[in-house]
């Protein structure tokens, strides 16, 4: 029974972490989602602990039934939420918190029942210390294994189902251990077999469940998908070509990505004149690197991408490597898979142009890459006449967020030259040039561009009234106000 306490604690924490992780993927703002999910889960456990006082007789039978319910509902939780997000997105939040409260209540019932069962054979002092020791050890094991082993190797759906099977195994163990006390042994045995069969079938068919949810969500045919420790990567192909999604958020569409990447790269590269040493932070798809390599003066490009799964996918899959013109295989390109913040802290190089192509600040892990601390490090890596360019969300939809980035760049002593371009897949999109000297209009652009030409450049730096500058605070590492502002502004679009 003490061994079962270890398993029960591990399973309960897995369901909590899986719900919080899925909430952060779908709803954004990981700190808010983890805080509210953990709070709701702990509250529900308290409710379950209180309700355990009303279980008086046949405690082993009650424990067995609760284990089977936890196994079935908790194990299926990630799969149910994935399907809900794809087929009924409006019900996702309601289902999320409903499942968290149900599973939390059931988990809260487990330990009090175990302690009351064990009390028959163990002194109270030893009982409490032993149960809590195994409970905490189980939580420790899962808290380490969940992000490092379970999710990267199994994915969220299989992880949930695996621990559901472990809960069901505890029920099976209780069935044998208390076989002489259970009045309806055959019914309990049938229930155990049924739950194990359902969870086992789900585990075996987890890929089909994922495909069912993703095909509905993404609509186009999925040609590549991978879950890394940092994100869910999905590439689809439809009538308009390939599209890349990270955690369900569109990153580029093949039909118009050239507009985005030409606008991102060339105003900085062409203004420099003859950049030799370039760094690209983010942009693991290699599309920004493709544009950088159009300059014959470039001698080296350092691509800093946190997720090796991204760079591997866009370097090795022929159809995806074709999108970036095999830029990641160029001898001029060095790929560094690490956190860009840490890389800036430790790298001692000086770069003529730094292209910053991170996802939007949907959570605090990404938000730190939009802080004054990050831009101060960026300033240290720029050569005397160098330029940095930062992709900076939509100045139309997220107006204050856009100008927060501008204000934050200026706060570290850099000049900021904001501009915007229209990308049909995203709408009006913004960028900011940062440098120690004023930006100047380039004399020429590389041949063969599909979107940019010199006459089109100047209007990009003009902002109409509905995108004009508004007062904004500096985004600091200690508060990360940008994440909250961004969520509020983009949330209005989805309401």
Alpha carbon distance 410, 412 (integer Å): 5
Listed range (129-133, 248-252, 429-433) with the worst mean pLDDT? 129-133
Question: Tokens 């189902």 sit at which residue?
Answer: 161
Q: Which pLDDT does position 430 carry in this prediction?
A: 97
Provide the percentage of residues in the chain whose pLDDT is more than 90.
Answer: 61
The arithmetic mean of pLDDT across residues 270-288, rounded, is 94
Q: Would you list the DSSP string of 133-145? A: HHHHHHHHHHHHH
Q: Which pLDDT does position 141 carry in this prediction?
A: 87
Q: For residue range 431-472, list pLDDT tens digits in order.
A: 999 999 999 999 999 999 999 999 999 999 999 999 999 999
pTM listed for this prediction: 0.73
Alpha carbon distance 426, 177 (integer Å): 60
Alpha carbon distance 85, 313 (integer Å): 26
β-sheet bridge partners, residue 264:
none
174 and 60 in contact (C-beta within 8 Å)? yes
Residue scoring higher pLDDT (3 or 103): 103
Mean pLDDT of the chain, nearest integer:
89
Residue scoring higher pLDDT (292 or 24): 292
Band (pLDDT 50/70/90 cuts) for residue 234 is confident
Which of 11-15, 364-368, 409-413 is modeled with the greatest confidence? 409-413
The arithmetic mean of pLDDT across residues 324-340, rounded, is 95
Q: Where are the beta strands (DSSP E) in 270-350?
A: 277-282, 300-304, 333-336
Residue scoring higher pLDDT (134 or 97): 97
Q: For residue range 182-202, list pLDDT tens digits in order.
A: 888 999 999 999 999 999 999
Please tell me whether residue 400 adopts helix, strand or coil conformation. helix
Give the relative orientation of helices 59-87 and 151-177 as an angle to the nearest 10 degrees: 150
Neighbours of 43 (CB within 10 A): 15
The arithmetic mean of pLDDT across residues 251-269, rounded, is 95
Residue scoring higher pLDDT (124 or 30): 30
C-alpha pair distances (Å), 122 with each of 115, 116, 191, 276, 293: 9, 10, 30, 74, 72
Residues carrying an active site annotation: 357
Q: What is the CA radius of gyration of the chain?
A: 27
Q: Where are the beta strands (DSSP E) in 213-248?
A: 221-227, 232-238, 241-246
The arithmetic mean of pLDDT across residues 26-41, rounded, is 82
Please tell me whether residue 449 adopts helix, strand or coil conformation. coil
Q: Which pLDDT does position 495 carry in this prediction?
A: 47
Q: Which pLDDT does position 29 carry in this prediction?
A: 61
391 and 264 in contact (C-beta within 8 Å)? yes
Q: Is the pLDDT of residue 124 over 60?
A: no
Band (pLDDT 50/70/90 cuts) for residue 494 is very low
Residue scoring higher pLDDT (56 or 493): 56
Q: Which pLDDT does position 217 carry in this prediction?
A: 65
Q: For residue range 352-394, list pLDDT tens digits in order.
A: 999 999 989 888 888 999 999 999 999 999 999 999 999 999 9
Listed range (126-135, 139-148, 172-181, 372-381) with the worst mean pLDDT? 126-135
Please tell me whether residue 222 adopts helix, strand or coil conformation. strand
Which of 150-154, 356-360, 407-411 is modeled with the greatest confidence? 407-411
Q: Which pLDDT does position 442 carry in this prediction?
A: 93
Q: Which pLDDT does position 120 carry in this prediction?
A: 63
Q: Is the pLDDT of residue 20 over 60?
A: yes
Residue scoring higher pLDDT (29 or 134): 134
Q: Is the pLDDT of residue 28 over 70?
A: no
The arithmetic mean of pLDDT across residues 266-281, rounded, is 95
Q: Is the pLDDT of residue 45 over 50?
A: yes
Residue scoring higher pLDDT (232 or 201): 201
């Amino acid at each position: 029974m003490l061994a079962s306490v270890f398993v029960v604690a591990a399973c309960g924490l897995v369901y909590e972490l899986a719900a919080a992780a899925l909430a952060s993927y779908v709803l954004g703002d990981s700190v808010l989602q983890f805080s509210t999910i953990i709070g709701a889960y702990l509250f529900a456990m308290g409710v379950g602990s209180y309700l355990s006082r009303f279980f008086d007789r046949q405690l082993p039978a009650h424990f067995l039934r609760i284990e089977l319910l936890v196994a079935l509902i908790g194990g299926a939780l990630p799969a149910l939420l994935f399907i809900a997000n794809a087929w009924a997105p409006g019900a996702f939040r309601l289902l999320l918190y409903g499942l968290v409260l149900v599973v939390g209540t059931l988990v809260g019932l487990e330990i009090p029942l175990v302690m009351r069962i064990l009390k028959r054979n163990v002194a109270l002092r030893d009982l409490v210390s032993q149960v809590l020791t195994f409970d905490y050890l189980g939580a420790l094991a899962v808290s380490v294994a969940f992000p490092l082993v379970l999710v990267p190797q199994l994915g969220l759906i299989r992880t949930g189902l695996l621990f559901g099977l472990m809960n069901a195994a505890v029920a099976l163990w209780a069935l044998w251990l208390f076989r002489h006390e259970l009045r309806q042994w055959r019914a309990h045995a049938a229930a155990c077999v049924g739950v194990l069969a359902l969870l086992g079938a789900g585990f075996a068919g987890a890929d089909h469940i994922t495909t069912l949810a993703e095909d509905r969500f993404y609509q186009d045919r999925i040609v590549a998908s991978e879950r890394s420790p940092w994100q869910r990567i999905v590439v689809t192909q439809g009538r308009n070509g390939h599209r890349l999604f990270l955690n369900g958020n569109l990153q580029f569409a093949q039909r118009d990505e050239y507009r985005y990447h030409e606008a991102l790269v060339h105003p900085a590269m062409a203004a420099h004149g003859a950049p030799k040493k370039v760094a690209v932070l983010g942009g693991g798809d290699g599309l920004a690197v493709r544009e950088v390599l159009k300059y014959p003066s470039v001698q080296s490009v350092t691509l800093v991408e946190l997720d090796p799964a991204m760079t591997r996918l866009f370097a090795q899959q022929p159809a995806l490597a074709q999108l970036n013109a095999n830029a990641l295989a160029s001898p001029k390109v060095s790929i560094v898979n690490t956190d860009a913040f840490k890389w800036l802290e430790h790298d001692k190089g000086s770069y003529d142009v730094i292209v910053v192509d991170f996802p939007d600040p949907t959570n605090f892990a990404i938000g730190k890459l939009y802080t004054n601390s990050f831009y101060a490090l960026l300033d240290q890596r720029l050569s005397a006449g160098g330029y940095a360019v930062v992709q900076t969300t939509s100045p139309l939809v997220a107006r204050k967020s856009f100008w927060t980035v501008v204000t934050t760049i200026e706060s570290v002593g850099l000049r900021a030259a904001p501009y915007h371009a229209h990308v049909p897949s995203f709408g009006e999109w913004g960028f900011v040039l940062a440098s120690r000297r004023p930006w100047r209009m380039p004399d020429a652009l590389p041949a063969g561009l599909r979107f940019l030409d010199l006459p089109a450049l100047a209007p990009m730096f003009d902002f109409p009234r509905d995108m004009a500058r508004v007062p904004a605070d500096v985004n600091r590492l200690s508060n990360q106000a940008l994440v909250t502002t961004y969520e509020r502004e983009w949330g209005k679009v989805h309401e």
